């Protein structure tokens, strides 16, 4: 794993955006797995700026949503869908045919997971997977536990996860999560793990110990051959 300690959130975002643009220049039809939340927001803003100058670079970009809050209407401002439409899909004018997206309130959540799994099998594997580090070490909505799910699945959300800032916007708690599994993530060609903010100091310290455990799902990234982990100054543990 290539761990890069950056001076600021802005420099973290610049480095991440640069790596994504470099991949797009190499492979026009890159399949990008997109996380949501504060950590990748700056990166998406920089991609949006680049799009205004060089729209052709993004003409064949494909996007798959990493995860979604379950039982919440798609147009709720707290959904991953709302976030991605605002910060990535809309600004880059990604066509619906190039976007694989969980429905947030499907009639049958298990069938929805199967649908996305089939889409990924047809159009994958993922070229670049953007990830954040959960406060409890979760990866996407793969929560700590005795075992981790390999495939796309319905996830039981932990109490820690339900304190996420996106949940606060919903006005109601999601009943479950929909998420790519560990196998789906680890089959990505390149993984960008973005860690930012002072609240992440403790979990970042645990992650950097390199102890691989299902109680810290993100620790499995140490097994992947091509991970770039970008950490801003505020998230760096002391010492």
Catalytic residue among 81, 112, 127, 136: 136
Whether 41 sits among the annotated catalytic residues: the reply is: no
Q: Which of 88, 104, 115 is closest to 174 using CA atoms?
A: 104
Helices 9-26 + 38-53 axis angle, to 10: 50
Q: How far apart are CA 129 and CA 64, in angstroms?
A: 9
Q: Is 108 a catalytic residue?
A: no
> Is 118 in the active site?
no
Cis bond upstream, residue 125 (ω within 30) = yes
Selected catalytic residue, list 41, 127, 143, 149: 143
Is 67 annotated in the active site? yes
Q: Which of 15, 41, 67, 127 is catalytic?
A: 67
Separation of alpha carbons 180 and 152, rounded Å: 4
For Cα atoms 208, 209, 213, give the angle at the middle one, nearest 5 degrees: 105
What is the three-class DSSP state of 67? strand
| Pick from 156, 180, 161: nearest CA to 64 | 180
Catalytic residue among 68, 87, 138, 232: 138
Residue tagged 């947030």 (tokens): 104
**Residues acting as catalytic residues:** 67, 136, 138, 143
């Amino acid at each position: 794993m290539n761990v890069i300690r950056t001076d600021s959130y802005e420099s973290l975002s610049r480095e991440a955006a640069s790596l994504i643009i470099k991949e797009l220049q190499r492979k026009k039809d890159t399949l990008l797995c997109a996380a949501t939340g504060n950590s990748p927001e700056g990166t998406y803003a920089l991609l949006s700026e680049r799009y205004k100058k060089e729209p052709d670079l993004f003409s064949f970009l494909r996007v798959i949503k990493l995860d979604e809050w379950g039982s919440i209407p798609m147009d709720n401002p707290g959904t991953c869908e709302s976030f991605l439409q605002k910060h990535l899909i809309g600004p880059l004018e990604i066509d619906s045919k190039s976007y694989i997206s969980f429905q947030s309130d499907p009639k049958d959540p298990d069938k929805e997971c199967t649908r996305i799994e089939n889409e990924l099998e047809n159009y994958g594997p993922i070229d670049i997977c953007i990830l954040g580090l959960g406060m409890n070490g979760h990866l996407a909505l793969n929560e700590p536990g005795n075992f981790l799910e390999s495939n796309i699945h319905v996830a039981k959300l932990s109490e820690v996860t339900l304190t996420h800032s996106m949940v606060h916007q919903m006005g109601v708690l999601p009943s479950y999560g929909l998420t790519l599994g560990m196998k789906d993530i680890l089959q990505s060609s390149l993984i960008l793990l973005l860690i930012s903010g002072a609240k992440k100091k403790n979990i970042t310290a645990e992650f950097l110990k390199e102890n691989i455990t299902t109680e810290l799902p993100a620790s499995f990234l140490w097994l992947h051959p091509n991970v770039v982990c970008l950490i801003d100054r505020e998230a760096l543990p002391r010492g």
